[in-house]
Structure formats: C-alpha cells, structure tokens
Chains A and B, each alone.
Chain A
Amino acid sequence: MAELAIALHGLQVELLVQRYGFRSIKEYLVSIGSKRLLERKCILHDVHLEIARGECFGIVGRNGSGKSTLLRVIAGIVEPTKGTVSVLGRVAPMLSLGVGLEPELSGWENVALCSSLLGLSRSDIAHTKDYVRNFAGLSEPELAMQVKRYSTGMTARLGFSIATANDPDVLLIDEVLAVGDAAFQQQCYRRIDELKRSGCTIVFVSHFLGEVQRICDRAACMEQGTIVKVGSTHEVGLHYHDLLGIPLNP
C-alpha cells in the first residue's frame, strides 16, 4: 500500500452528555439524587481505518452513525478517549459551509478572519485573497459588502473558496455541497478533482451513493459508531442498501 495519509487505530470516543434540557428541568428536580446529571455516551468504538495518500475516500451511513464525529477526530476537533490518530499534513475541515463567517463583517474581512481560524499564516491569507477573487465568482462590490446581505449560495461560495484555497493535504467534506447553484456545484467538483490530482487526500461523507461512487476510489459504511464495511464503492453501496433495507436500483 502506498504512503498513508490517515491512520486510525482502536479509536474510541466517549463524551459526557447533559441529560436534561430546559424542557426537562422538572424531570430533573423530581429525579435529583437518583440519577446523575451527566451521562457517558459512546459515540465511536473500535474504529480502524487506513487511508492512502491521494485517495478519495467516501463514508456512508445512517444519521447518527458517527460519520461526522469520525471527521472531527481526523480534523483534531474531538480528542479520542482511546486509540491513536495519525494524519499527514495540513487538514482543511469542511464540516459545514460558511463556518466562522461573521455576518456583520465584509467579505474581505471574513476571508482574513476565517483563514486565521483555519490556522493559516499571514502569507497564506494573502494567497487566499487572490484565490477568492478568482474562484468564488463574487464581484468586487459583493466582496466589500457585509456578509449578512449575502444569499445562501453566495455564502457557500465564499466559504468553499476560503476552505480550499491553500491546497490542503487532507480535505474533509461533510455533506456540504448540496447548497449553491448547479454551476457552483460543478465548480466545486472540478476543484475537488484538481485537488485530488495534486495529491490531496479527500474524505467525503455523503448520503448520496451516486456522488460517492462518482468521485471516490474506496468507501466505508458506518453503523452505530463503528465501521462495518470497507471496500470498493460498489461493495459498500450494496452493503449500505442492505442495511437500510431498500434495493439499490428501485
């Protein structure tokens, strides 16, 4: 196998979760003493995964099966309770589009703000600005405008451009390309292909099997916090549909 970009071994993530919301204060008062306030929840367990450098890897699975948490572990947002995480190079997480954008600030100010939240250096930020000017498809007056006046699609364009500007080594995409118009989506896929060709490793989470099969080399299916199947996108697709109990081509 080629050089590894991501290696996860014996991964386990447990988190303390508050059991009572605002609506259940009464329930809490009634149960005080007999139940604990916080509950330990197992989000991921026994996850083993190796992804080669330059590979485009898809992850499918039901809602709540742990896909997003897995991406967060790779991105370094969530610390594993047990196990090891190794990632090669700089990770650009795109877990939701337009994250970190401040509505009151202009497009340009947001480029600087978001880039610094991504951990980029000053020279990288200058490069991001050039990139946004050429790629985002937003006019100069639009970029000088406050982001709160942007449409959803415009926000998505800005967010995607900032996230992918500085050729990351690992790109994590979580179900974010569904917004934006068809032209922008195509532009996104072109950019993803371009990054792929330049050796960027991509982990792609999606509910749409078609998308996964189109852009991914391999895939995994997750169920109840662990990986139940790794293989070609076709095999994983069959497994996923078995799991859901619906035929692959209805």
Chain B
Amino acid sequence: MSTVVPVSGQATLRMQRQHLPMLITVAWKNVRLRYKSSLFGFLWTLFNPLLFLLIFLFIFSRAFPQVENYPVFALTGLIFWSFFATTSAHVLSSVVDNAHVLRSLAVPAQVFPLAQLMAGLFNLLVSFIPFAFILAWFGWRPVSATILVIPVVALFACFLFGLSLALCALNVYFRDIGILWSALLPALFYLTPVAYPPDLVPADLQWVASLNPLYHFIGLVRVVLYDGQAPGLELWVPAIGLALIALLGGLSVFNLLRRGFIANY
C-alpha cells in the first residue's frame, strides 16, 4: 500500500534552502515596490539623510566647533541611522503586512522579515555610491580602512535584524509594539551620537550613553568612515557581542511565537 510520505507541518514552516528563490523574489519585489509609482524613486533614499544634514549644518555646525569637518561627521552617522530607522520599521511590520499570504500559503514566516532586511541592505549599498560623491565633495577621501565598512555593515545588520525580528513577532500579538517603536525611534535618535560628538556627554554619564547599543555601532562606523582608521578590539568586541545577542535572542523569540501567529494576525 501507500507511499504516503510525511510532509509539511514541521518541514514547510521552517526556513530551508528550497525557500531561497522565494526569498530573493520577495526581497526584489520589496526593492522595486519601495518607490514604485513615485516620480523620484530611488532618490528618496538620499533625500532623508540629506534633509537632516541640511538641518544639522544649519543648527549644529557652529555648536560643535571641536568637530573637524562637521558635514562628513554628521553624514556618516546619518546614512546608518536612516538605514536603521527605515529597515527596522519595515522588518517590524513585515509579518503583519503579509498576514494574508501567511494565512493561505505554506510560506515560512521568516521569509518576510528577511526579505525586508535584504531590501534594506540593497538600498544601503546602492546609496553608498551617490553618498561617496557627496562625502568627497565635503573633502572626504576613501582610505584602505574604508573597506572595513563591509564587516561593520554586516554586524550592524545582524543587530538590527535580531532586534526587529523580536519586535516583529511581538507585534503580531500586540500591535502596541509597532506604535511604541515609531514613538521610540526619534527618542533613540537623540540618545545616539548621530548629530553630536559622543564626548559631549559628561564623563560621569558616559556609562549611561554606552547602554544604548546604537552608541557602539555608530562609534564603529565613525572610526572607519570619519577617522579613516581600523577600529581597535575594544570597539569590535561590544559590536560583535551585541550583534550575536540580538540575533540569537531575536531568532528564539520569533521561533517561540511564530506557531501562534496564525490565530493573531
């Protein structure tokens, strides 16, 4: 009698190599959709950091005379902040936004957050090209340490993904998470030394500032892109640690909660 093979249930819901084409298709769709039906398309990716740069130049460049070449200082931070803010918000809402698909097709839920991360990374990498020209205009020059931006982006992406994955899973059950996150993001922006030099924080409060994970990542970015130096171990270790903790934590929260997604979309 039968060649009934045990399928699915367990197997299909987990991310496997067979889901790779699906993942790439969805990620590419996200890239295309982000600015579809808009006149300026991709230019909007540049617009947000540049607008902030303009405001910063207007308000802050006199305020921090100790910062040499303030535009480069601000822009290196802003590019990564903008990546963090946009991508975390997209990852966070990805599962809820695709509830109709997850309810009706055997697609692993992980596909959607991962595809949003990939789309965000793609956007960041492409935006590096025009930003390099803008930075060069302000007197920035690439040096050999600039290549280290690749591992820095990788670590930052791991941290960002882990954190937003946990938020994404919780958001399925409690939509408050998404609302809370959009309220927290601006606060986090001022808490992170994007516009101001990190030594602006009084010495005895530095430990409070360093509790903010983004403090370490923006610091790492600055050393590589603004100082043009290879970061020391004391900068790599916290970034690697935070990236690993976020990723492992995010994945376990997501895996724990995803079984119940179906009843709560």
- Give the B-binding residues of A (Cβ under 8 A): 3-5, 7, 15-18, 22, 37-38, 41, 43, 72-73, 75-80, 84-88, 91, 93, 95-96, 99-100, 102, 104-105, 112-113, 116-119, 121-122
Given contacts A4-B4, A119-B18, contact A79 B29 (CB under 8 A): no
18 A-B interface contacts by CB (under 8 A): A15-B260, A15-B262, A16-B173, A16-B264, A75-B8, A76-B9, A77-B102, A78-B262, A85-B9, A87-B4, A99-B105, A100-B100, A100-B101, A113-B25, A113-B26, A116-B25, A117-B101, A119-B106
Please give, as numbers and ranges, the residues of chain B lying within 8 Å of A95 by CB-CB distance: 103-105
Query: Are B37 and A104 interface neighbours, CB within 8 A?
Result: yes
Please give, as numbers and ranges, the residues of chain A lying within 8 Å of B180 by CB-CB distance: none
Known: A77-B103, A105-B32. 18 other contacts (CB 8 A): A3-B3, A5-B4, A15-B260, A16-B259, A38-B260, A73-B9, A77-B13, A93-B104, A93-B105, A100-B104, A104-B33, A105-B36, A116-B22, A116-B25, A116-B26, A117-B105, A118-B105, A119-B18
Q: How far is the CA of A17 from the CA of B18 in the complex (A)?
A: 31
Given contacts A85-B8, A122-B21, contact A75 B106 (CB under 8 A): yes
A27 to chain B, nearest CB (A): 14
Please give, as numbers and ranges, the residues of chain A lying within 8 Å of B211 by CB-CB distance: none
Please give, as numbers and ranges, the residues of chain A lying within 8 Å of B102 by CB-CB distance: 77
A51 to chain B, nearest CB (A): 11
From A18, A87, A91, give the contact of B174 (CB < 8 A).
A18
Please give me the residue from chain A that is nearest to B25 by CB atom. Answer: A116
Query: Are A41 and B106 interface neighbours, CB within 8 A?
Result: no
B6 lies within 8 A of chain A by Cβ: yes
Q: How far is the CA of A77 from the CA of B108 in the complex (A)?
A: 8
Please give, as numbers and ranges, the residues of chain A lying within 8 Å of B103 by CB-CB distance: 72, 77, 95-96
Please give, as numbers and ranges, the residues of chain A lying within 8 Å of B29 by CB-CB distance: 102, 105, 113
B11 lies within 8 A of chain A by Cβ: yes
Query: Are A4 and B36 interface neighbours, CB within 8 A?
Result: no
Q: How far is the CA of A3 from the CA of B259 in the complex (A)?
A: 31
A49 to chain B, nearest CB (A): 13
Q: How far is the CA of A155 from the CA of B32 in the complex (A)?
A: 21
Query: Are B264 and A18 interface neighbours, CB within 8 A?
Result: yes
A2 to chain B, nearest CB (A): 9
Q: How far is the CA of A75 from the CA of B102 in the complex (A)?
A: 11
Residues of B250-265 at the interface with A, using a CB-CB cut-off of 8 Å, are 259-260, 262-264
Max count, chain B CB within 10 A of own CB: residue among A4, A18, A22, A96: A18
B205 lies within 8 A of chain A by Cβ: no
Please give, as numbers and ranges, the residues of chain B lying within 8 Å of A93 by CB-CB distance: 104-106
Q: How far is the CA of A24 from the CA of B175 in the complex (A)?
A: 13
Q: How far is the CA of A229 from the CA of B103 in the complex (A)?
A: 27
Please give, as numbers and ranges, the residues of chain B lying within 8 Å of A41 by CB-CB distance: 263
Given contacts A76-B12, A79-B13, A80-B9, contact A96 B100 (CB under 8 A): yes
A30 to chain B, nearest CB (A): 17
B191 to chain A, nearest CB (A): 27
Please give, as numbers and ranges, the residues of chain A lying within 8 Å of B105 by CB-CB distance: 75, 77, 93, 95, 99-100, 117-118
Query: Are B104 and A77 interface neighbours, CB within 8 A?
Result: yes
Query: Are B6 and A84 interface neighbours, CB within 8 A?
Result: yes
Please give, as numbers and ranges, the residues of chain A lying within 8 Å of B12 by CB-CB distance: 76-77
A22 to chain B, nearest CB (A): 7
Query: Are B263 and A86 interface neighbours, CB within 8 A?
Result: no
Given contacts A15-B262, A79-B9, A113-B25, contact A22 B175 (CB under 8 A): yes
Q: How far is the CA of A96 from the CA of B101 in the complex (A)?
A: 9
Query: Are B263 and A17 interface neighbours, CB within 8 A?
Result: yes
Given contacts A77-B104, A77-B262, contact A85 B33 (CB under 8 A): no
